A = this chain, B = another copy of it.
Amino acid sequence: MPGQRSITEAEKLAEAKLGGSSFRHDQMAVVANIYRAASAVRQHLENSVLRGVDLTWTAFVVLWVVWIWGESETRHVAEEAGISKGTLTGVARTLERRGLVQRADHPTDGRLVLLSLTDEGEQLMQRVFPAFNEEEAFVTGQLSDADCRTVADGLRRVVLQVEEKGEERRRDLLEGAAPAPRRSGRRKA
């Protein structure tokens, strides 16, 4: 395992600005770089393989989830894709309009909607996924297989921490105070 990699200019500046006061430096670097990496990877994938087939990142993720899981209830798709139910409604509509996914009523529960790939969607994924995976390999090109497992492992622990303890943490932080509604959002009619 090589030692500490080069720190970015921004991180040095932050160190200088905040060096006096006490703060969690290593933890800040993780969060900052998670986000930088996510943006960089998304940007690269959208501008390489996805643009050519006219898919946004989110649209691709939704397709991927339905591809891997097979016909699924929309609530599960939204959960797995990491987007809200409301967003999924719009994205699914776009994909349906393009003939890549189809909706179906649940046989016994009239509230549920099932999503599945059309033949065209299935063919698209068989064609696009290998190219997508190639670029996943490209963006991680500076990491060995072992490095990849280590990084993925660390990230999974971050996800787990938030999923398992996040809600409680947010409750404790508010200390019974009102949860402060979002500024944007629907108003009462």
Which A residues contact B (CB, under 8 angstroms)?
A: 1-2, 4-8, 10, 13-14, 17-18, 21, 23-24, 26-44, 47-49, 51-52, 54, 61, 65, 67-69, 80, 82, 129-130, 133-143, 145, 147-163, 165-166, 169-170, 173, 179-180, 182-183
Contact = CB atoms under 8 A, between A and B. Distances in A.
Copies per assembly: 2
A50 B150 CA distance: 30
Contacts of A13: 68-69
Contacts of A161: 138-142
26 contacts: A1-B1, A5-B153, A5-B156, A13-B68, A23-B129, A27-B133, A27-B136, A27-B137, A30-B136, A30-B140, A30-B151, A30-B155, A33-B151, A33-B152, A34-B155, A37-B156, A40-B159, A41-B162, A43-B162, A44-B166, A51-B180, A138-B161, A139-B166, A143-B158, A150-B154, A151-B154
Contact of A41 (B35, B43, B47, B135): B35
B42 A149 contact: no
A4 B149 contact: yes
Contacts of A42: 35
A26 B162 contact: no
Nearest to A50: B180
Q: Top 6 A-B pairs ranked by shortest CB distance? A: A38-B38, A26-B148, A33-B155, A151-B154, A142-B157, A29-B152
